[in-house]
Chains A and B, each alone.
Chain A
Amino acid sequence: MSMNNQGRPTRPEHAEGSADTFTGNRALMLEERLIFEIGAIDRTGIDLDEMPDSASRLGGLERNRSIGLAGLSEPETVRHYTRLSRMNYAIDLGLFPLGSCTMKHNPRLNERIARLKGFADIHPLQPVDTVQGALQVIHELGEWLCRLTGMPAVAMSPKAGAHGELCGILAIRSALEARGDAREVILVPESAHGTNPATAAFAGYRVEDIPATPEGRVDLAALEARLGPDVAGVMITNPNTCGLFEPDMKRISDAVHAAGGLVYCDGANFNAIVGRVRPGDLGVDAMHINLHKTFSTPHGGGGPGSGPVVFSEALAPFAPLPFVEKRGDHYALIEEETAEDHHGSSFGRMVAFHGQMGMFTRALAYMMSHGADGLKQVAEDAVLNANYILRSLEDVLDAPFGKSGPCMHEALFSDKGFAEGFSTLDLAKALIDEGYHPMTMYFPLVVHGAMLIEPTETESKAVLDEFIGALRSVVERAKAGDESLHGAPFHAPRRRLDETGAARKPVLVWSEPEQVEAAE
């Protein structure tokens, strides 16, 4: 018999009989067919008036067959998507070990502010005199970001972390070209985010790896040995993907600057140090900040993102347009037409308009509701929670950098010690049965069978303890060689999926059954 934490029985003592049902549903776990299998394409859920007779002006380009969309009524449509949504896992359902990379708790106050009509119902092409409040939000958010990072300038328009990386690298390229010193190589440590080398390559640089030390940090000696007149700069993720702070950051920056290069810091993990460390003090020249990771804007499912980039004095002149500038009581939008001499070196634009307004209002609401001291506590609680997980599980799981000191906001484990034939994938699937979304798996690449867990700052000790209990249980099964793990998940809407088949032969469009037969 299993018990929940109040001691009430959660399962009858004698559960017998078949669980098969006529519908395939399992009580509140409802099966759902594809939308094309519910609504036939020759039906419609809405009554439309007959088209009046009128001369066509399409000159023979009229559609001559059905568009082929399934016809559903409104309640059928609502039910379809509601049923699908119930098969999903969400931060509003429970602890989410992927952490802020995907989405952390979004305080509802942010949503209330973002829905104010003056923010929600405006258009980027409105006259600036009619959107002074919105421009003030962009400006004040930028000031907060500069203050928190210790950097003098910020570009608000980049739409996501990787977009911000590109913005920073383009500014570095512009600065180097402006001094007639085009360089070819960007150095990227093994402990950096995977987007970093991709960004550098996309911007036209050759990427060279810098190895990690056995402690999971940048190998300073290897970096210093590689610096030279062909190195444009480094891209360092700090805190890094091994979950560790780079204590040599200042020495790294000094060495890069001494060799004539510039320093890009991937600030995705700023949520672990906000209010405690100012990257500007560490010699960083450019850094993006993912508003969803540090300042709790919504993000799950790939967007909308926002990745403002802060710049040092050296790079500030090259920052992309547009800017919001405060002139007396007035907020001015600085674009190509209104840019004056002091923005003459800007490398151009990253986006058509001004950035993600809906994210700006939410992020500023988060900052102002927390205050400077509250933001500092966000970082401290995020780090405390991750260390609680690290230390609570290191007796059963291998923590490759557990001896490197405290982790930051993420706890990293390897698959060392699992029974022969058992993998991180098996453990992740079993965790689904326990009612959790799996953690980040097989990343960072420097750790075998990596499991990277970020609990985030909002989880209570009770919630963490329950998660630790669940993870400990599946780890013990993996170490004991419990064969049933290979079959997990047992309780999800679908059992273990054929990931190989899905990657090799993906079926991305629905075809009518007749067509399928005809094709065969």
Chain B
Amino acid sequence: MARYFTEDHEWIDIEGDHATIGITDYAQEQLGDIVFVEVPESGTVLEKGADAAVVESVKAASDVYAPVSGEILEGNDALADEPALVNTSPEEDGWFFRMSLSDADELEGLMDAKEYKAFVDSL
């Protein structure tokens, strides 16, 4: 399994042609207490960069983008009742959605953990 990161502070786990997506620990810390998460419905087909999910904290509402193109396989329904999972476990239990990966070439240009850390440190 490989984990990638985007400049929009999302993480992507790749297993075969499936991707699991969430927001990073840095993102949840910047947002503060998450009060609401809206995940996409399965079957939704998204282009890379399209709005996929919404995350709302006491400070701000933000969009979560599809980091790759594909079809939504599953949204994390647990977040509806317990949006705080994004705060307590942003990079594991607080995942947002899983999607199929239609073009593996889109992973090029994404960051690995080391590059993402350097990116965050530069902010």
Interface residues of A, Cβ cutoff 8 Å to B: 442, 445, 499-500, 503-504
Contact = CB atoms under 8 A, between A and B. Distances in A.
Chain B interface helix/strand/loop/mixed: loop
Nearest to A443: B60
Interface string B60-96: 1000000000000000000000011000000000000
Interface residues of B, number: 8
Contacts of B36: 503-504
List 4 tightest A-B contacts by C-beta distance, closest first: A503-B35, A500-B33, A499-B58, A442-B59
B58 A503 contact: yes
A504 B32 CA distance: 13
Nearest to B62: A445
Contacts of A503: 33, 35-36, 58
Given A445-B60, A503-B33, 5 more contacts: A499-B33, A499-B58, A503-B36, A504-B83, A504-B84
Contacts of A445: 60
17 contacts: A442-B59, A442-B60, A445-B60, A499-B33, A499-B58, A500-B33, A500-B35, A500-B58, A500-B84, A503-B33, A503-B35, A503-B36, A503-B58, A504-B35, A504-B36, A504-B83, A504-B84
A488 to B, nearest CB: 17
Interface of B: 33, 35-36, 58-60, 83-84
A500 B88 CA distance: 14
A201 to B, nearest CB: 11
Most chain B CB within 10 A, of A442, A445, A504, is at A504
A499 B33 CA distance: 9
A499 B36 CA distance: 13
A481 to B, nearest CB: 18
Contacts of A500: 33, 35, 58, 84
A503 B35 CA distance: 6
B73 to A, nearest CB: 27
A503 B31 CA distance: 14
A500 B35 CA distance: 6
A503 B61 CA distance: 13
Nearest to B87: A500
Nearest to B58: A499
A372 to B, nearest CB: 41
A504 to B, nearest CB: 5
A503 B34 CA distance: 9
A424 to B, nearest CB: 9
B90 to A, nearest CB: 16
B58 to A, nearest CB: 5
Contacts of B84: 500, 504
A224 to B, nearest CB: 22
Nearest to A506: B35
A516 B60 CA distance: 33
A281 B1 CA distance: 60
A445 B36 CA distance: 19
Most chain A CB within 10 A, of B59, B60, B83, B84, is at B59
Contacts of B58: 499-500, 503
Most chain A CB within 10 A, of B35, B83, B84, is at B35
Nearest to B34: A500
A30 B84 CA distance: 36
Nearest to A423: B32
B93 to A, nearest CB: 17
Nearest to B59: A442
A500 B31 CA distance: 12
A341 B41 CA distance: 50
A500 B59 CA distance: 10
Contacts of A504: 35-36, 83-84
Contacts of B83: 504
A504 B87 CA distance: 14
A292 B63 CA distance: 32
A486 B90 CA distance: 25
Contacts of B59: 442
A504 B85 CA distance: 13
A504 B59 CA distance: 13
A202 B46 CA distance: 22
